[in-house]
Chain A
Amino acid sequence: MSLYDIFDALERGPIGEAIRNSHWLFPVIEAFHLIGLVVLGGAVLVVDLRLLGLGLTRQSIARVTNAAKPVLYCGIAMMFGTGIPLALSEMIKLYYNRSFWVKVTALAVVLIFTFTVKHPLIRRENTNRLVLFLIGLISMTLWFTVAGSGRWIGFSS
């Protein structure tokens, strides 16, 4: 079974089918995907700005990160909850869409980076300030890549 076959089978599934058969389901889920983007983006930005020495500088980095975590998880849940159904409705189009592959690659990298590098290094109290600055820069760049290439899926066909 090739990757294409898997994408094809997923597109034929009940969720993809239901979304394709509806005029308004795709646009509505898409709109909520944007609201999720905003929630996720806010949680990422306050922490990454803090790592860059901007925003909530009177609070420690660990404190800002912990305060933002529930919002971050909520945003990630909203994005997967809406993004997966959207993808299921057009798997074959996505298979041939370069922006989609850029997006999922950047997404995988940023999620792994966040949970195996960013959060552990923030928890450790003696992490070098330059390293923290770079973490903020990398995290922000990756998330903007995910968002930008995500928007671009709709432009490239």
Chain B
Amino acid sequence: MRWFAEWLDSHAWSTALHESLHMYPIVESTHVLSLMIFVGTLFIVDFRLMGIAFRNMPVSELTSRILPWTTLGFVVIVSTGLMLFYAIPVRTYHSIWFRFKVVLIVAAGINAWLFHRRMKKKPVVWNDDPVPPLHVRASAAASVLVWSGVIICGRMIAYNWFDCDKQQPGWVQFLAGCVPEDLIH
């Protein structure tokens, strides 16, 4: 994977995006604004599934009318996220925060997949219930927690406490996959 990050880093466009006075902040801001659309609408659906908001509306209405906006936000946030990775590939690849973030995104994806699979298998008899069954509430709460974790890790990528170019404890070097030649003496 390191070679892939280095290959991206060798692109002139990667450097251009990273060093651009306006493009990098614009892409970064779009990433944050699409976060508001993506996770914002997702949380509305999760809050309904947890039985803490929008209780007087059928669950199916929120999933069918709100989740398309979540998907739209997802497309924008993934596109801008890939551009941000492309701009700073090697450092990001070795960032433990980025690595935690990817793990949490995969976990959130599995949680969502399991939920939708169960929804399809069994008829949803709780569509109009103000408070859905426990397993539904648990799944929605897990979604809120894991996505919040994604946001926290994402924000932390900007900070260089655990970067490989500094002397790091063994566990950080292991998690970050540091290679010795990156250390600046």
Contacts and interface: CB of A to CB of B under 8 A. Distances in A.
B37 to A, nearest CB: 7
Interface stretch (B52-60, B102-110, B172-180): B52-60
Interface string A34-64: 1101111111111001000001111100010
A57 B57 CA distance: 12
Interface in A20-45: 23, 27-28, 30-32, 34-35, 37-45
Please classify how large the interface on chain B is, using the bins under 10, 10 to 19, 20 to 34, 35 or more: 35 or more
Contacts of A44: 40
B176 to A, nearest CB: 18
A41 B37 contact: yes
A41 B37 CA distance: 7
B43 interface: yes
B62 A56 contact: yes
Contacts of B33: 144, 147-148, 151
Interface in B11-66: 25, 28-29, 32-33, 35-37, 39-44, 47, 53-57, 61-62, 65-66
A27 B154 CA distance: 11
Contacts of B69: 45, 49, 55
B57 A39 contact: no
A115 to B, nearest CB: 20
A23 B148 CA distance: 21
Given A46-B66, A56-B57, A147-B32, A23 B41 contact: no
Contacts, number: 100
B36 A59 contact: no
Contacts of B161: 23
Given A34-B32, A35-B148, A147-B36, A42 B57 contact: no
A94 interface: no
B73 to A, nearest CB: 9
A27 B159 contact: yes
B155 interface: yes
A152 interface: yes
B131 interface: no
B37 A45 contact: yes
A144 B156 CA distance: 23
A152 B29 CA distance: 7
A41 B154 CA distance: 18
Contacts of A67: 53-57
Contacts of B54: 67-68
A77 to B, nearest CB: 15
A40 B161 CA distance: 30
A58 B65 contact: yes
Contact of A45 (B36, B65, B151, B158): B36
Nearest to A49: B69
Interface in B95-116: none
Contacts of B82: none
B124 interface: no
B32 A71 contact: no
Interface of A: 23, 27-28, 30-32, 34-35, 37-46, 49, 55-59, 63, 67-68, 70-71, 144, 147-148, 151-152, 155
